[in-house]
């Protein structure tokens, strides 16, 4: 079942908020995982694991390094679902 971009963003924001303690409202498309949200590699992999579960997709390890921003992740998940 495919999600809309907005649903993916909201779902991802929930995961990021759980992992980091940030406010969901701060998880915006243009935010960088490392520079803006201060997410380290271990946390990033945790987020990826939860996102795969939540959205029913596979995010290969070699793809994770290309996901610089929240928007990149939303686009990848959307593409993987379609």
Partner 1 sequence: MTSAREVVVTGLGATTPIGGDVASTWEAALAGESGARTLENDWAEKYSLPVNFAATIKVNPAEVLSRPETKRMDPSTQYAIVAAREAWADAGSPEVDGERLGAVVSSGIGGLWTILDGWDTLRERGARRMLPMTVPMLMPNSPSAYVSLEFGARAGTHALVSACASGAEAVGYAADMIRTGRADVVVAGGTEAVIHPMPLGAFAASRTLSLRNDDPQRASRPYDIDRDGFVLGEGAAVLVLESAEHAAARGARVYAKIGGVGLSSDAYHITSPDPEGKGQVAAMRSAMEDAGVTAADIVHVNAHATSTKVGDLTETYSIRTLLGSDADHVLLSATKSMTGHLLGGAGAIESLFAVKAVSERVAPPTINVDNPDPELQVPLVRDEPAKLPGGDIAAINNSFGFGGHNVALVVQNH
Torsion of CA 48, 52, 57, 59, to 10 degrees: 20
In the residue annotation, 40 being an active-site residue is answered as: yes
Query: What is the closest distance, in whole angstroms, from the C-beta atom of residue 8 to partner 1 in the complex?
Result: 20
Distance of CA 52 to the CA centre of its chain: 9
Out of 40, 61, 72, 82, which one is annotated catalytic?
40
Contacting residues toward partner 1, per CB under 8 A = 18-21, 42, 45-46, 49, 52-53, 58
Query: What is the closest distance, in whole angstroms, from the C-beta atom of residue 12 to partner 1 in the complex?
Result: 16
Give the 3-state secondary structure of 32-78: ECCCCCCCCHHHHHHHHHHHHHHHCCCCCHHHHCCCCEHHHHHHHHH
Query: What is the closest distance, in whole angstroms, from the C-beta atom of residue 4 to partner 1 in the complex?
Result: 25
Question: Which residues are the active-site residues?
Answer: 40
């Amino acid at each position: 079942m495919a999600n809309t971009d907005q649903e993916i963003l909201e779902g991802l924001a929930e995961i990021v908020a759980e992992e980091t303690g940030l406010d969901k409202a701060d998880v915006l498309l243009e935010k960088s995982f490392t520079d803006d949200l201060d997410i380290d590699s271990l946390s990033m992999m945790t987020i990826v694991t939860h996102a795969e579960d939540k959205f029913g997709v596979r995010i290969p390890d070699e793809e994770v390094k290309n996901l610089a921003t929240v928007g990149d992740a939303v686009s990848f998940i959307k593409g993987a679902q379609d």
